[in-house]
C-alpha cells in the first residue's frame, strides 16, 4: 500500500521538525504543510498541544527547525544555528477551546487588540476588526461585550481576533470542544467557510472525526510523540493504519446538494445519486450544500437486492478487502462510493473479493448531514 503523496517542495508553506522533551515524554515530529487546513490528531498525551506551543514559540524544542516561507521573518527556529524567534515576532495566530476574550472590551476592541499590539494605529486596527467581524458574521454585535454573546459567537469572535494580524500560520487547539452539539455544528460550518478564505497554513488539533473530515485537506496522526499515519482524509478513511485512526476517521464522507421532501434527500456530487436522510424538512434548507457522513458499520452488503426497510440501496462493485482481525473494511464503487465494515464471517459467506458485484444498503436513520 502506497502512502498518500505529501506536498511538493514548492507547495510547502510550513516546514518543521520539532524535538521536544517534557519529563519522560518526548515529541519528535516532522511537518510539511501546504496552505489550507491540516488536522493533527491523536489520543490524549500524544503530543498535539506540545507541538502547537513549540510552533507558537511558547516552548523551546531541544532540536529541530521551523521555517515558514510566507512569513515576514521566515526562519522561526533553527536550533543548530541558534535561531529562536520570540513568540511576538512569529506570524502566528492561536485559537483555544476557550475564547479568552477580554471581558471589559467590546468585540471591536477585542479584535483590534492584535493589530494594535503590532503597532497598527487605533483607527486602522478598528477598521480591520470590523472587517474581520463581518467575515465571521458578527458585524451586528461589534459593540457588544463578551458576556452578551453565546458560546458559538464568542468562538467566532476569537477566530476574528486571531486572523486580524494576518498570520502566516493559524493554530487551532480543539476550538469547538467546549460547545454544545447544536452550537458546535453551526460554528463548525462558520469556521470552515472562514478558513476557506484564509490563504495561510491552519493546523487544527481535534478529536472529532467530523471536524477532521469536513475541515481538513490533510490528516496527521500522532501516537506517543511520533507520526503514526498521514494523508488525505479519503486515503486515511480507506486505509487506516492504527486502531485510533480507524476509530477517528472511520466514516464515509459525501458532498452534495440538499433537496427537501419529505423525505430530505442529498444529491451526491459527480454521480447525481440520491441519499435519503431522516432529517426534518427545512433543516437543512433546500438547495444548500451539505456533507453526508455514514459509519462503515452502518453499510450492509447483500448478494441480492434487499427488500424491506432500507431507504438507500445501490448496486456496487468491491474494489478492495482489508482484514483487521475479525473485521474487514470493504471498498465499494458505485453510484455512491462507500466503505463498509463487516465481519470476517460475512466476507466468507458472501464470497467477497475484489470485483464481486453486490448491493449496498444504508438506513436513512444512519445518515448524518452537516452543513458544507
pLDDT in tens, 97-129: 888 999 999 999 999 998 998 889 999 999 999
Task: Pick the range with the lowest mean pLDDT from 35-39, 178-182, 309-313.
Answer: 178-182
Grid coordinates belonging to 70: 510566507
Domain boundary among 249, 284, 302: 249
Beta bridge mates, 369: 292
- Report d(CA 122, CA 124) in Å as an integer: 6
Domain boundary among 229, 249, 269: 249
Query: What is the spatial order of strands in the sheet that 265-268 belongs to?
Result: 274-276, 265-268, 252-259, 289-294, 368-371
User: Is the pLDDT reported for residue 310 higher than 80?
Assistant: no
User: Is the pLDDT reported for residue 247 higher than 90?
Assistant: no
The pLDDT value given to residue 172: 93
- Report d(CA 22, CA 61) in Å as an integer: 10
- Report d(CA 226, CA 286) in Å as an integer: 44
For 80-93, write each residue's pLDDT tens digit: 999 999 998 999 99
Whether 156 is in a domain gets the answer: no
Average pLDDT over residues 356-368: 93
The pLDDT value given to residue 177: 85
Between residues 246 and 355, which one has the greater pLDDT? 355
Question: The CATH number of the domain where 21 resides is what?
Answer: 3.40.50.300
Whether 116 is in a domain gets the answer: no
User: Is the pLDDT reported for residue 218 higher than 90?
Assistant: yes
Task: Pick the range with the lowest mean pLDDT from 81-90, 323-332, 359-368.
Answer: 323-332
The DSSP 8-state label assigned to residue 73 in this structure reads: S
The residue written with cell numbers 486571531 in the block is 162
Main-chain dihedrals φ then ψ at residue 174, nearest 5 degrees: 50, 55
C-beta separation of 112 from 132 below 8 A? no
Task: Pick the range with the lowest mean pLDDT from 176-180, 285-289, 292-296, 358-362.
Answer: 176-180
Beta bridge mates, 339: 331
Whether 212 is in a domain gets the answer: yes
Whether 110 is in a domain gets the answer: no
Average pLDDT over residues 68-88: 95
Q: What is the pTM of this model?
A: 0.75
User: Is the pLDDT reported for residue 181 higher than 80?
Assistant: no
Structural domain including 191 reads 12-91+167-249
Query: What H or E segment, with its residue span, contains residue 334?
Result: none
Domain boundary among 194, 221, 249: 249
Are residues 244 and 258 both part of a single domain?
Answer: no
User: Is the pLDDT reported for residue 2 higher than 60?
Assistant: no
The pLDDT value given to residue 226: 96
Are residues 344 and 261 both part of a single domain?
Answer: yes
User: Is the pLDDT reported for residue 273 higher than 90?
Assistant: yes
Are residues 241 and 364 both part of a single domain?
Answer: no
The pLDDT value given to residue 1: 38
User: Is the pLDDT reported for residue 311 higher than 60?
Assistant: yes
Task: Pick the range with the lowest mean pLDDT from 90-104, 201-215, 242-256.
Answer: 242-256
Nearest to 323 by CA among 298, 292, 346, 355: 346
Alpha carbon separation from 345 to 81, 174, 299, 325, 340 (Å, rounded): 58, 39, 16, 11, 14
What is the sign, positive or negative, of the torsion defined by CA atoms of 203, 207, 212, 215? negative
User: Is the pLDDT reported for residue 239 higher than 60?
Assistant: yes
The DSSP 8-state label assigned to residue 225 in this structure reads: T
User: Is the pLDDT reported for residue 209 higher than 90?
Assistant: no
Are residues 301 and 176 both part of a single domain?
Answer: no
Are residues 320 and 356 both part of a single domain?
Answer: yes
- Report d(CA 201, CA 212) in Å as an integer: 15
Main-chain dihedrals φ then ψ at residue 155, nearest 5 degrees: -70, -35
Whether 140 is in a domain gets the answer: no
Q: How many domains does the chain have?
A: 2
Are residues 186 and 272 both part of a single domain?
Answer: no
Are residues 270 and 281 both part of a single domain?
Answer: yes
Average pLDDT over residues 227-244: 85
Main-chain dihedrals φ then ψ at residue 18, nearest 5 degrees: -120, 120
Question: The CATH number of the domain where 362 resides is what?
Answer: 2.40.50.100
Beta bridge mates, 321: 330
Q: How confident is the model at residue 3 (pLDDT cuts 50, 70, 90)?
A: low
Are residues 244 and 278 both part of a single domain?
Answer: no
Are residues 339 and 274 both part of a single domain?
Answer: yes
Are residues 180 and 266 both part of a single domain?
Answer: no
Are residues 76 and 188 both part of a single domain?
Answer: yes
For a pLDDT cut of 90, what percent of the chain falls above it? 63
Are residues 224 and 347 both part of a single domain?
Answer: no
Average pLDDT over residues 210-235: 91
The pLDDT value given to residue 5: 65
User: Is the pLDDT reported for residue 200 higher than 60?
Assistant: yes
Amino acid at each position: 500500500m502506497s502512502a498518500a503523496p505529501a506536498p511538493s517542495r514548492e507547495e510547502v508553506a510550513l516546514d518543521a521538525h520539532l524535538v521536544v522533551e517534557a519529563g519522560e515524554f518526548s515529541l519528535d515530529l516532522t511537518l510539511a504543510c501546504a496552505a489550507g487546513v491540516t488536522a493533527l490528531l491523536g489520543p490524549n498525551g500524544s503530543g498535539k498541544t506540545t507541538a502547537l506551543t513549540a510552533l507558537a514559540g511558547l516552548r523551546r524544542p531541544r532540536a529541530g527547525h521551523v521555517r515558514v516561507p510566507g512569513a515576514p521573518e521566515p526562519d522561526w527556529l533553527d536550533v543548530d544555528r541558534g535561531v529562536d524567534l520570540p513568540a511576538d515576532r512569529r506570524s502566528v495566530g492561536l485559537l483555544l477551546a476557550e475564547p479568552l476574550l477580554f471581558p471589559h472590551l467590546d468585540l471591536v476592541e477585542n479584535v483590534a487588540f492584535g493589530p494594535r499590539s503590532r503597532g497598527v494605529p487605533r483607527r486602522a486596527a478598528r477598521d480591520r476588526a470590523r472587517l474581520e467581524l463581518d467575515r465571521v458574521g458578527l458585524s451586528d454585535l461589534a459593540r457588544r461585550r463578551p458576556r452578551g454573546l453565546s458560546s458559538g459567537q464568542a468562538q467566532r469572535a476569537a477566530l476574528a481576533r486571531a486572523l486580524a494580524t494576518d498570520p502566516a500560520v493559524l493554530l487551532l487547539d480543539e476550538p469547538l470542544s467546549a460547545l454544545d452539539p447544536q452550537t458546535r455544528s453551526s460554528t463548525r460550518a462558520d469556521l470552515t467557510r472562514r478558513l476557506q478564505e484564509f490563504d495561510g497554513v491552519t493546523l487544527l488539533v481535534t478529536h472529532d472525526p467530523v471536524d477532521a473530515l469536513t475541515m481538513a485537506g490533510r490528516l496527521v496522526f500522532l501516537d506517543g510523540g511520533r507520526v503514526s499515519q498521514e494523508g488525505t482524509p479519503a486515503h486515511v478513511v480507506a486505509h487506516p493504519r492504527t486502531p485510533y485512526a480507524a476509530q477517528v476517521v472511520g466514516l464515509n464522507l459525501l458532498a452534495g446538494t440538499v433537496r427537501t421532501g419529505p423525505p430530505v434527500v442529498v444529491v451526491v456530487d459527480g454521480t447525481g445519486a440520491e441519499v435519503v436522510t431522516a432529517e426534518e424538512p427545512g433543516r437543512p434548507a433546500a438547495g444548500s450544500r451539505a456533507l453526508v457522513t455514514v459509519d462503515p458499520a452502518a453499510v450492509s452488503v447483500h448478494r441480492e437486492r434487499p427488500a424491506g426497510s432500507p431507504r438507500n440501496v445501490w448496486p456496487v462493485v468491491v474494489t478492495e478487502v482489508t482484514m483487521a482481525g475479525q473485521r474487514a473494511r470493504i471498498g465499494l464503487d458505485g453510484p455512491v462510493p462507500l466503505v463498509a465494515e463487516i465481519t470476517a464471517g460475512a466476507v466468507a459467506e458472501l464470497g467477497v473479493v475484489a470485483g464481486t458485484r453486490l448491493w449496498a444498503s444504508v438506513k436513512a436513520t444512519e445518515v448524518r448531514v452537516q452543513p458544507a
